[in-house]
Amino acid sequence: MRLLDRYDAFICDLDGVVYRGEPAVPHAVESLTAAAKPVQFATNNASRPPAEVADHLRSLGLDIADADVATSSQAAAWVLTRHLEPGAAVLAIGGEGVATALRDRGFRPVFSASDEPAAVVQGYGPQVTATDLAQAAYAIQRGALWLATNTDHTLPTADGYAPGNGALVLAVGAAVGRGPELVAGKPDEPLYLMCAERLGVAPDRVLAIGDRLETDIQGAHMAGMDSLLVMTGVHDIRDALMAPAESRPTWVAADLRALHVEVEELEPARAALRAAWEGADTGAGPASAAELPSELESLLR
């Protein structure tokens, strides 16, 4: 049995898994296309509307619809449907993707605390200003529900790491004296659970694929999903060896070609990781990046 045959659908991270910046990750497009399974492409990036992300994926050769892309802005609006009535005013902080997601769920985006919003959705946008953050703080202090699309502290760019939405959330938190009541994106579970709902598949029948342990893999754990860590992005097998319990992947592989590999071929690496984790947890032998089991050496990059 191939790995893909164990699951009914996939939730796939984007940057570091499908593409790196603009270009496709080697083997990603071909592997996903040949898998012929339902996929939701889930991203913590709240600024871009799904159609824009989908256009990027189609340019790489993937045959997908706009609805196959799920953003943390959409997850935030999805969460708000459980807290607010349709038509409620919501302060939209962030890029175009935030306001679009709110409108699509029947909410009324506003941009000033003077509009008396019932909630604040705070997401990243390159044009977010100190004035925007102040409006969020004013609304929250007046009782508005505060929901962050995601709390990534950094944002990778061509020039290095820039402050991400999590850094801006901390700025608002410094003004109001606390953090948001709710977070929609990874590693919190709403984004993944919204994707499972769209797919019409129970979470335990979904494989979540990512390259970051503390977001993609931990998010899968929170949502009750199995996960696959691929070595094409941020984290490598040494990081997986040292991962805390809540960020440990079900499977590890070099890249997305693993979807088409027989499970028996993936089991030695899985067993080696489990043994290392068990040793670390029991004190019998600490997991150490310097003590890489031979079964995992092929995953070095």
Annotated binding site for Mg(2+): 13, 15, 211
For residue 101, the surrounding DSSP H or E stretch is helix 96-104
Residues of each annotated binding site: 13, 15, 186, 211
Give the phi and the psi of residue 184 in degrees, each rounded to 5.
-95, -35
Region of residue 143 (left: phi > 0; alpha: psi -120 to 50; beta: else)? left
Contact 228, 252 (CB under 8 A): yes
Give the phi and the psi of residue 118 in degrees, each rounded to 5.
-80, -20
Contact 222, 258 (CB under 8 A): no
* Residue 15 is a catalytic residue: yes
Residue with tokens 């992947």: 249
Least Cα distance to 94 among 143, 66, 128 occurs for: 128
Residue 93, both tokens? 């902080």
The residue type found at 295 is E
Contact 91, 136 (CB under 8 A): yes
CB atoms within 10 A of CB 274: 11
Choosing from 13, 188, 216, 226, which is the catalytic residue? Answer: 13
Choosing from 15, 68, 132, 236, which is the catalytic residue? Answer: 15
Least Cα distance to 11 among 150, 155, 191 occurs for: 191
Residue 97: HSE in the Cβ half-sphere, 13 Å Cα cutoff:
25
Active-site amino acid positions: 13, 15
